[in-house]
Amino acid sequence: MLHEPPFCRIFLCDITSLFLLQGYHRLGYLLRMLLSFIRFLSRGLVLSLILASVSLAAGEQNTKWEEFRSFYDTGKYQEAIQSLKRHPSNDANYFYNLGNTYYRLGQFGLATAYLEKSNRTRAHDPDIQQNLSLAKAALSKQIGEDRIDPASGWIESISDNAPLDEIRGILGLFAFVLTLLWIRSYYKSRSLKRTLLQPAGLLGLLALAITASLYLIQRLNASSPPAVAVTAESIRSGPGEQFIELTRIEPGMKIRLLEKSAKSGDEAWQQIRYSKSSIGWIKESSLLPL
């Protein structure tokens, strides 16, 4: 029997270990490649699912719009409204289309309500503002101009209709520029009184005062935000049908929301100001907050 020298056994063991080590490295490399491939596939799958969902949503949106448009163009306004309300949304286009369709039906109160909401959602849109003016003019002939917004004071009316955030931003920029001129003037004269009495200083203080006033107007308006009626409803002395009816509200009339709310049975009730000095309660479901 042939016996191998000791050094041959050691050499063969080293060669075997080397091949085994290379095999482990190759196996690890293959596993890393496999994991990378799986990650690549998973990312591709996720991206495909996202794109598919976006395409599906866009397709559904187009289908909804085409259905509404087909009803609207053929004069089937009630069906057009039902088509819209099956897919409610909180964007300006949804309220704009609702308002226009109700206007076509001669329901000027609801047209005013939804166009008012659309105008709040997307300010400065000329089409929305023009159609809102038409709806308000038609509604004022039905119920009287003084009943469209009987609850808002002059400060609240300014806050509702004026772009206060933009005005405040412009005034803030104006005040910043004047402040730089004011600082420059102060370093030249080293006299605070003389600097304040200069035109730039007076204008800066005026801009600051106006900005502070606009901020206070917004804070006052936030304490009693506006809402508009979407159904004809009784205003009562308390939260429930058992309380005395004070007056009635018609669709399109604007009121001011107060802090208190309550439940009576299954119905939620909201305390409101329905004239400049009169307070009552109304069902929340009859209001569209602006």
CATH number of the domain residue 264 falls in: 2.30.30.40
Residues 69, 50: Cα–Cα separation, whole Å:
28
Query: CA angle, corner 92, sides to 90 and 95, nearest 5?
Result: 75
**Residue 57: predicted pLDDT:** 46
Query: Tell me: the pLDDT tens digits for 110-149?
Result: 999 999 999 988 888 899 999 999 999 999 999 998 899 8
For residues 211 and 171, membership in a common domain is answered with: yes
Residues 216, 139: Cα–Cα separation, whole Å:
32
DSSP category for residue 150: -
Among residues 208, 223, 238, the one where a domain terminates is 223
Residue 283 bridge partners (DSSP): 269
Q: Which of the two residues, 276 and 27, has the higher pLDDT score?
A: 276
Query: Tell me: the pLDDT tens digits for 67-105?
Result: 888 889 888 999 999 999 888 888 899 999 999 999 999
What value does the mean pLDDT take over residues 227-238? 94
**Residue 19: predicted pLDDT:** 47
Highest mean pLDDT among 30-44, 45-59, 87-101, 156-170: 87-101
**Residue 272: predicted pLDDT:** 94
Overall pTM > 0.95: no
Residue 56 above 70 pLDDT? no
For the four alpha carbons of 249, 250, 255 and 259, in that order, the dihedral sign comes to positive
Residue 15 above 50 pLDDT? no
Whether 105 is in a domain gets the answer yes
For residues 250 and 269, membership in a common domain is answered with: yes
Whether 65 is in a domain gets the answer no
For residues 125 and 173, membership in a common domain is answered with: no
What's the total number of domains in the chain?
Answer: 3
For residues 182 and 230, membership in a common domain is answered with: no
Q: Which of the two residues, 49 and 43, has the higher pLDDT score?
A: 43
For residues 232 and 218, membership in a common domain is answered with: no
Whether 52 is in a domain gets the answer no
CATH number of the domain residue 100 falls in: 1.25.40
Whether 2 is in a domain gets the answer no
Residue 282 bridge partners (DSSP): 270
Among residues 103, 122, 148, the one where a domain terminates is 148
- Quick one: which of 187, 209, 212, 210 has its CA closest to 198? 187
Residue 280 bridge partners (DSSP): 272
Whether 166 is in a domain gets the answer yes
For residues 126 and 164, membership in a common domain is answered with: no
Among residues 223, 246, 274, the one where a domain terminates is 223
Whether 18 is in a domain gets the answer no
What value does the mean pLDDT take over residues 24-53? 60
Residue 14 above 90 pLDDT? no
What value does the mean pLDDT take over residues 30-43? 65
What value does the mean pLDDT take over residues 243-267? 91
Q: How many CA atoms lie within 13 A of 230 on its CB side?
A: 18
For residues 262 and 245, membership in a common domain is answered with: yes
Categorize the per-residue pLDDT at 276 as very low, low, confident or very high, splitting at 50, 70 and 90. Answer: confident
Residue 263 above 60 pLDDT? yes
Residue 255 above 90 pLDDT? yes
**Residue 122: predicted pLDDT:** 87
**Residue 190: predicted pLDDT:** 66
Whether 54 is in a domain gets the answer no
Which residue segment(s) compose the domain that 136 sits in? 89-148
Highest mean pLDDT among 124-128, 167-171, 284-288: 284-288
Residue 261 above 80 pLDDT? yes
Whether 37 is in a domain gets the answer no
Which segments within the chain are labelled E, that is strand? 226-229, 233-236, 245-249, 254-264, 267-273, 279-283, 287-289
